[in-house]
Amino acid sequence: MTEERLEFIVKDRGERVDKLVQANLPAYDLSRSQVQALIKDGHITVNGAPTKPGVKLSGGEKIDVTIPAEEDEDTTPQAEEMPLDFVYEDEYLGVINKPAGLVVHPGVGNETGTLVNGLLARYPWLVETERKGIVHRLDKETSGLMLIGKQADTIEALMSQFQERTVDKAYLAFTERVPRTSIGTIDAPIGRDPKQRKRMAVVRNGKSAVTEFEVLEQDFLGDQALIRCVIHTGRTHQIRVHLAFIGAPVVGDTVYGYRKQRLTLKRHFLHAAELAFDHPVSGERLIFESELPAGLQNTLDKLRRK
């Protein structure tokens, strides 16, 4: 990967440099410490000058970010032992409960500690496959059900089901506002944000994206809503972009939602709760459900009106 140079203009007053850079580069899944290392090495500047992680901005500054090129001598992900929560596994595939904070693929700033690293430790032969077991992905801070394949032909067969849209996926999202209708379909194309290319947005020339939603509950102290979303396409950040588009951004989403959050969550409130697909060998329809993580469930319980 070659060196990348990015820039953006600060909109709000009072934001820390490191937090702002992290929020504006979601595609890189950079941790705060990784951003701080980039600042220390001079790869992030404010109005062309070196800066420090904790500097608070006034608004209007130009931030320049250089993402260094990856080293060429070792591009193969390394196997790393890590606990993985399997809800199903056989000789062909597995379904895991991915925790929030776990990155799926190695990349700039995330060369280790990813799901791929963990899968290679559990199934060493996957190193010979192109996708290292990954059939689809979830965002770093999205938790829930994720499907992995254990052989190249299985991976290909499962990916075909995603392409043919025979896989059913449903998510639970907690939103800052209640949508105008209790049931609806968001049919709006998604592509790169022309103003910030590392973000996604609803754009006229984007790829087709369809999300169905249903409000499950809306009697919360802060007028939020618990929503079930079913996606018929798999665009990057699709649910987060679509819900923000209809004025109901996901709680905790500082990229597409409120920069200054009303609730102090360390992640965005989005959970992959349902997954159904056909077993590529037996043909059996497999259906899985995943409960909300304890932290998200506690948030709902505290905010419900008595």
Choose among 164, 166, 180: nearest CA to 245. 180
Q: Which candidate in 72, 74, 85, 139 is catalytic?
A: 139
CA atoms within 13 A on the CB side of 228: 12
CA 141, CA 144: separation in Å to the nearest integer?
10
Q: Which two tokens stand for residue 210?
A: 């369809």
Cβ atoms 286, 278 nearer than 8 A: yes
Q: Under 8 Å CB-to-CB from 74, ≥6 apart: which residues?
A: none
Choose among 140, 276, 300: nearest CA to 222. 300
Cβ atoms 156, 93 nearer than 8 A: no
Q: Under 8 Å CB-to-CB from 283, ≥6 apart: which residues?
A: none
Task: Give 177's DSSP letter.
Answer: S
Task: Give 284's DSSP letter.
Answer: P
CA distances from 147 to 94, 171, 285, 295 (A): 6, 15, 14, 23
**Catalytic residue status for 29:** no
Which amino acid is located at 23 in the chain?
A
Point out the residues that are catalytic: 139
